[in-house]
Chain A
Amino acid sequence: MKSFACFLLVVVMPLVTAWSQEATIFKEYQTVYKIGDQQEWASKEWDDRHWEKRMELAPDGQLFWSRTRIHILEAPESLKSYGLRLEVYGEYEVFWDGVLIGKNGNPGREAELPPEGELWITFNIPIELTNEGEHVMAIRLSNYYFPDHVGNYDLKIANYDALLTDQLIQNSWMNVFAGAFLIAAIYFLFLFLSNKKEYATLIFSVSCFLFFSLTMTHLFRTTVPIHYSLHVIRLEFISSLMLGISFLIPLYFSMQFPYPKWKLFLAVYTAILLYLFSFELHLNSYTILNMAFSLLVYSLGISIYGVYKKVKGALLVLLTLLLCVVIRHTVSFNISLFVGFILILLSMLYLLSLRIKEQRLAYENSLVQSTRLRLQLLKKNIQPHFLLNTLTSLIDWVEETPRKGVLFIEALAKEFDLFNQIEEQTLIPITQEIALCRTHLEIMEYRKEINYSWEEEGIDLSEKIPPAILHTLLENGITHSLPLADNSIKFKLVFESNSTYKSYAFLTFAAGVRPAANDREEGTGLKYIKARLTESYQTKWDFVSEPADHGWKNIIKIYS
């Protein structure tokens, strides 16, 4: 977490500083408008006091003028003329103190001529016209395609060369990040394709791709000239990308820090997003601002819940989101949007790496667990209680009735052989398991001199079962039961299956069967069975072991 925080600092600081160093060298006053066309309106001295302060509509592509008084606070150094960058809807001519400094399309003739001119354009202002003091920028323009978009959407005066190059420098930064996120998107997409259960990876990949697209669309205007008539398409595209990101990020956090009824909350949130998206599409920055705000508020809520529930990584996400709030209030909206997304995506990446680590550990654990189970199975046959008691009985049989002793040895050999065959496997045929139980009974009969019998009912010979789990139940049954009056104990295995589950009932018919409450062996035996069931069926099993009228009853259910 510490290294991640350091990394954030390294990434964010240059970005913020690169974007925030802008000294103001001019002051812009109220822009005024007038429909009509007179060349005198370009002049600096023209009296525009009666011009309109607002113009809602300039219909039919007719010509109109706008005049903006600008105070230059600082004259340019010699040889470093100022430039003027405009974002104005329409085709126009620009006059600076009455002097025509540039042309962007054909004002007043848009209907007859093909679209010409760009939405963003930079003009050079002659150096002799930018001395300290007041100046007038007059624009003669027509707005055929968006008559309701009148005004200077952006106006900036700065060193002409800097205006051209700053954008490129900014772009290079943005390109670096866009590229990084494109690679991340591809990498995590491949990761998802190799393991299709990991939806978090897919969501992260798509989020990265959307962010990459957002960045590229944003940069688009500086790399490719766009006519103002096409601009709405770009804005709609940006809004759509924003919609996607605003949906995916909370979805991702909801999956990482699950909270009660999260699907319902997410549905409500999605409805709000769609409403924001459909509402006032043209007031683009408000749509984006609202979506970003909703995204931030919702994600903050989720991460606060995550921190409350002590989910790993939630605190970092919360801090990152709070950092986003701080950034939002220190730099411009556009910059905070990009920096914020970069931070959020990095925190998502951090969460993903945490989960990947958890999965790796879980996998390693499962390997260890499997090995442990194998060893436990192996140990069954050589644990002192079984082996030494068997050998003691065996010695006695050999000494007393050698012929029976040989049969005893054969039974023992058979059980060892069966154990050998199943030792490496996680599932074995039920027939093998039954053979193991029968052999074990044979051995125990020699040892305990009790008449053990074995019955089966409804066994499906093609079924498979984890190794030695019935054997373990049998061992417990033998250990904890006393024989009936006729010196016999019966074990019965009943198999049932239907569309939802398969069940094995293992029944003991004996007198005085008791659970041994604090018995170590019983404990490990049941643990072994449960671990084996988990290994093969994960959570889709059920195991009950309880007393019954006839003795004891164990039921293993395996759900399909």
Chain B
Amino acid sequence: MNILIVEDESRIAKRIERMTQAIFGHRLHSLTHINNLQEALLFIENHTLDLVLLDLNLNGDSGFDLLTTAVSKSFHTIVVSAYKDQAISAFEYGVLDFVPKPFSRDRLEQAFNRAVAKEKIATNVVKLLAVKKRHRIQLISVEEVLYIKGAGAYAELILTNGKKELHDKSLEKLEQLLSQTFERIHKSYLVKMSEVKEIVVQSGSKYFAELKNGERIPIGRTKYKDIKAKWY
């Protein structure tokens, strides 16, 4: 695991570091602590990470600036903050978990487990997906997304207006975040179930989900039963 801690309070950062080391043990590949926004942004651009632990208030800067960048990346973000009232908006941006201060080791471990075990978070509603453009980050409303297609380490968002956007997160990670409204119907497809009109069965046990706009998306053989049981 490569983990980054962004926290401006030295004592708290040390606490997180110590606990992280204890929890991950030898699985931890690297652990970095940065205490300001600018350096953190730079670090994120230039290093491969698996997890970022982020404070929402850094030396008076709003951590949401960093959050927008962080959630557009391939790694998961966990917010560790005293501002509980910002938890909902943080989840809407697509963070994996929100650990309120003061926190115990158990609470931190629970958050880490979500990341490691690829646990689906069904309680939280992600409303925005941050997509990295050339010089900026664009926030796309989840409502505009029809389905998501896996493309190697990336994912392709297919929008209601026909446009396609590339997201840095893998299909697995997006599945974790979007599990409430989206379903993995195929190893390469994550579909918003409210957009599915019907399931079409073709000869040779080929299954398709037909969307309201007429598009057909294949359903994995192994997934078919689960989907049928869950949605119909």
- Interface residues in B74-103 (C-beta closer than 8 Å to A): 82-85, 100-103
Within 8 A of A (CB), among B40-84: 57, 59-62, 82-84
Question: Are the CB atoms of B62 and A388 closer together than 8 Å?
Answer: no
What separation, in Å, do the CA atoms of A482 and B37 have in the docked complex?
A: 12
The number of A-B residue pairs with CB atoms under 8 Å apart is 70
Sort A-B residue pairs by CB-CB distance and give the 6 closest, nearest first: A388-B82, A392-B102, A449-B10, A393-B11, A516-B60, A396-B15
Q: Which A residues from 388 to 407 make CB contacts under 8 A with B?
A: 388-389, 391-397
Docked-complex contact B84 and A384, CB < 8 angstroms? yes
Residues in B neighbouring A385, C-beta threshold 8 A? 57, 82-83
Closest to B19 in A: A396
What's the Cα separation between A447 and B102 when bound, in Å?
Answer: 13
Q: Report A's interface with B, CB cutoff 8 A.
A: 384-385, 387-389, 391-397, 446-450, 476, 479-482, 512, 516, 519-522
| Inter-chain contact A448/B11, CB cutoff 8 Å | yes
A388 to B86, CA, bound (A): 14
Q: How far is the CA of A446 from the CA of B12 in the complex (A)?
A: 10
**CB-based contact B82/A397 at 8 Å:** no
Q: Is the CB of A450 within 8 A of B60?
A: no
Complex CA gap A396/B57 in Å reads 20
Contact with A along B180-219 (1 / 0, CB 8 A): 0000000000000000000000000000000000000000
Q: Are B12 and A393 in contact (CB under 8 A)?
A: yes
Chain A residues in 8 Å Cβ range of B36: 482, 512
Q: How far is B12's CA from A528's CA once the two chains are assembled, in angstroms?
A: 29
Find B60's partner among A393, A394, A448, A522 (CB 8 Å cutoff). A522
CA distance A447 to B8 in the complex (A): 10
Across the interface, which residues of B come within 8 angstroms of A476, CB to CB? 60
Q: What residue of chain A has the Cβ atom nearest to residue B14's Cβ?
A: A396
Complex CA–CA separation, A448 to B10 (angstroms):
5
Does B9 lie at the interface of the complex (its beta carbon under 8 Å from any beta carbon of A)? yes
For B84, list chain A residues within 8 Å (CB).
Answer: 384
Question: Which of B11, B35, B82, B84 counts the most A-chain CB atoms under 10 A from its CB?
Answer: B11
Partner of B11, one of A449, A479, A519: A449
> Is there contact, CB below 8 Å, between B60 and A521?
yes
Q: Is the CB of A519 within 8 A of B102?
A: no
A444 to chain B: closest CB distance in Å? Answer: 9
Q: Are A447 and B11 in contact (CB under 8 A)?
A: yes
Output the nearest chain A residue to B11 by Cβ-Cβ distance: A393
B60 touches A392 (CB 8 A): no
Residue of B nearest to A397 (CB): B11
Nearest-neighbour CB distance to chain A for B223, whole angstroms, equals 43
- Per-residue interface assignment for chain B, residues 10 to 31, with 1 indicating a CB less than 8 Å from any chain A CB and 0 otherwise: 1110110000000000000000
Min CB–CB distance A402 → chain B (angstroms) = 15
Q: Which residue of B lies closest to A396 (CB)?
A: B15
Which residues of chain A have C-beta atoms less than 8 A from B102's C-beta?
Answer: 388, 391-392, 394-395
Residue with the greatest number of chain B CB neighbours at <10 A, chosen from A385, A450, A521 = A385
Q: Chain B 122-144, CB within 8 Å of chain A: the 1/0 string? A: 00000000000000000000000
- Chain A residues near B61 (CB-CB < 8 A): 516, 519
Contacts of A447 in B (CB 8 A): 9-12
Give the CA-CA distance A385 to B60 in the complex, in Å.
10
A480 touches B9 (CB 8 A): no
Q: Is the CB of B12 within 8 A of A392?
A: yes
Verify B62–A519 contact, CB threshold 8 A.
yes
Task: Provide the bound-state CA to CA distance between A384 and B86, in Å.
Answer: 12
Which residues of A sit under 8 angstroms from B15, Cβ to Cβ? 392-393, 395-396
What's the minimum C-beta distance from B55 to chain A, rounded to whole angstroms? 9
B12/A396 in contact, CB under 8 A: yes
Measured CB to CB, the closest approach of chain A to B21, in angstroms, equals 14
- Kindly state the separation between the CA atoms of A480 and B36 in the bound complex, as whole angstroms: 10
Chain B proximity of A384: nearest CB distance (Å) = 5
Chain A nearest CB, measured from B63 CB (Å): 12
Chain B hits for A394, CB < 8 A: 102
A181 to B100, CA, bound (A): 70
A308 to chain B, nearest CB (A): 46
Chain B residues in 8 Å Cβ range of A389: 9, 12, 82, 101
Complex alpha-carbon distance, A391 and B104, angstroms: 12
The reply to whether B59 and A391 contact each other, CB–CB distance below 8 Å, is no
Knowing A384-B84, A391-B101, A391-B102 are in contact, say whether A396-B11 is a contact too (CB < 8 A): yes
Nearest residue, chain B, Cβ from A387: B82
Q: How far is the CB of B202 from chain A (nearest CB, A)?
A: 56
- Within the assembled complex, what's the spacing in Å between the Cα atoms of A449 and B84? 25
CA distance A448 to B8 in the complex (A): 8
| C-alpha spacing A391/B100, complex, angstroms | 12
CB distance from A206 to the nearest CB of B (A): 58
Contacts of A396 in B (CB 8 A): 11-12, 14-15
Contacts of B11 in A (CB 8 A): 392-393, 396-397, 446-449
Residues in A with CB closer than 8 Å to B82 are 384-385, 387-389, 392
Q: In the complex, which residue of chain A has the Cβ closest to the Cβ of B84?
A: A384
Q: CA of A391 to CA of B83 in the docked complex: distance in angstroms? A: 13
Could you pull out 15 A-B pairs where Cβ atoms are within 8 angstroms? A387-B82, A391-B101, A391-B102, A392-B15, A393-B15, A395-B15, A396-B12, A446-B11, A447-B10, A447-B11, A448-B10, A448-B11, A449-B14, A481-B59, A482-B59
Whether A388 contacts B101 in the complex (CB less than 8 A), given A479-B59, A519-B61, A522-B60, comes out as: yes
Hey, which chain B residues are within 8 Å of A519, CB to CB?
A: 60-62
A482 neighbours in B (Cβ, 8 Å)? 35-36, 59
* CB of B188 to closest CB in A, whole Å: 42
Nearest-CB distance from A53 to chain B (Å)?
Answer: 97
Bound: A522/B61 CA distance, A: 10
Contacts of B83 in A (CB 8 A): 384-385
Distance to closest chain B CB from A379 (angstroms): 14
Residue among A396, A449, A512 with the highest chain B CB neighbour number at 10 A:
A396
Alpha-carbon gap, A385 to B11, bound state (A): 15
Which residues of A have CB within 8 Å of B14? 396, 449
The complex places the Cα of A393 from the Cα of B83 at a distance, in Å, of 16
- 16 extra interface residue pairs, beta carbon distance < 8 Å, beyond A397-B11, A516-B60: A384-B83, A388-B101, A388-B102, A391-B101, A391-B102, A392-B11, A392-B101, A394-B102, A395-B102, A396-B11, A396-B12, A476-B60, A482-B59, A516-B61, A519-B61, A520-B62
Minimum CB distance partner of A446 in chain B: B11
A446 to B14, CA, bound (A): 12
A389 to B10, CA, bound (A): 11
Q: How far is the CB of B99 from chain A (nearest CB, A)?
A: 10
Q: Give the chain B neighbours of A388 by CB distance below 8 A.
A: 82, 100-102
Q: Whole-angstrom distance between the alpha carbons of A396 and B60 in the complex? A: 23
